[in-house]
Structure 1
């Protein structure tokens, strides 16, 4: 993932806070077997210190590729929007000469994958995931010898992804003047399509922290 200096995370806390703020769905990318294309699997995940925890169905074809090469990446993307060219045109140029771009936040984890197959270990992984996704505890007990989860554990495999590197990108025109970024954020909010509003929120948040970008 190419990251311009002005698009880089301001600190580790920035991307960690962004992930914790409900960005818990991403894509697992696995090197393919010899002669095959890489595989990409969309899935929810939870984090556990320097590890990511996920589970997938046992019939998923990704397992053979992971066993062959456990070096994987996991990518989370959000708060994205298309910014049309006229919004980015310089004041002294025709609006049609403006160059469009995409705004987005992305965090890419480079990981070493470890398959979790022992029943109790899988149950503990599910307990951790449910604690995140259903913190009110409105679910049955996850136990290897009790329904409904006990009989279902054989149908899944868990993955513990030990994170070896994190690269985070917040692409919101931070190299542009503050007035320009404020105007674009206002236009995104007014347009109000898809993720326009949270995208504008990210742009304003970065603006509040950085002001005019300086190399």
Structure 2
């Protein structure tokens, strides 16, 4: 992922806060076997310090590739929107000469993958996932020898991704003048389609922290 200086995370806390703010679904990318394309799997995950916790169905074809090469990348993308050219045109050129772009936030985790097959270890992984996704505790206890999860545990494998590198990108035109960024954020809010509102919030948040871009 190419990251311009003005698109980089301002600090580690920025991307960690963004992940914690409900961005817990992403794309697992695994190096393919020789002669095969890489395998990708969309899935929920739970951040746990410097690792990510995942479980997938045992028949998933990804396992053979992970066993062959445990070096994987997990990508989370959100708060994205298409920004049309007229919104980005400089005052001294025709609006139709403006160049469109995409705004988005993305965090890529480079990881070493560890497969979890021990029944109790899988149960603990599921307990951590349920604590994240169902914090009210409205679910049965997860244990290898108790229903309903006990009989289903053999059908899944756990996956622990030990994070070795993080690449975080917040692409919101932060190198543009303050007035330009504020106007685009207002335009996104007024358009109000898809993820326009959260995209505008990200742009305004970055604007408040950065102010005028200083190389």
Find out whether 1:92 has 2:92 as its counterpart.
yes
Kindly state the Cα deviation for residue 68 of structure 1 after the two structures are TM-superposed.
0.2
In structure 1, distance between residues paired with 2:149 and 2:73: 29
Cα deviation code 1:21-63 (max 9, x no counterpart): 0000000000000000001100000011100000000000000
Unaligned runs of 5+ in 1: none
Cα RMSD over matched residues? 0.3
Find out whether 1:131 has 2:131 as its counterpart.
yes
In structure 2, distance between residues paired with 1:44 and 1:144: 22
Cα deviation code 1:139-168 (max 9, x no counterpart): 000011110000000000000000000010
Cα deviation code 1:161-190 (max 9, x no counterpart): 000000100000000000000000000000
Q: Tell me what 2:207 maps to.
A: 207
Unaligned runs of 5+ in 2: none
In structure 1, distance between residues paired with 2:175 and 2:137: 45
Kindly state the Cα deviation for residue 75 of structure 1 after the two structures are TM-superposed.
0.3
Kindly state the Cα deviation for residue 69 of structure 1 after the two structures are TM-superposed.
0.2
Kindly state the Cα deviation for residue 133 of structure 1 after the two structures are TM-superposed.
0.2
Kindly state the Cα deviation for residue 103 of structure 1 after the two structures are TM-superposed.
0.1
In structure 1, distance between residues paired with 2:30 and 2:167: 17
Q: Tell me what 1:27 maps to.
A: 27
Q: How many residues align?
A: 215
Q: Tell me what 2:170 maps to.
A: 170
In structure 1, distance between residues paired with 2:67 and 2:132: 28
Question: When the two structures are superposed, what TM-score results if normalisation uses the length of structure 2?
Answer: 1.00
In structure 1, distance between residues paired with 2:34 and 2:161: 22
In structure 2, distance between residues paired with 1:212 and 1:196: 23
Cα deviation code 1:54-85 (max 9, x no counterpart): 00000000000000000000000000000000
SS at match of 1:212: coil
SS at match of 1:80: strand
Kindly state the Cα deviation for residue 118 of structure 1 after the two structures are TM-superposed.
0.3
In structure 2, distance between residues paired with 1:47 and 1:182: 32
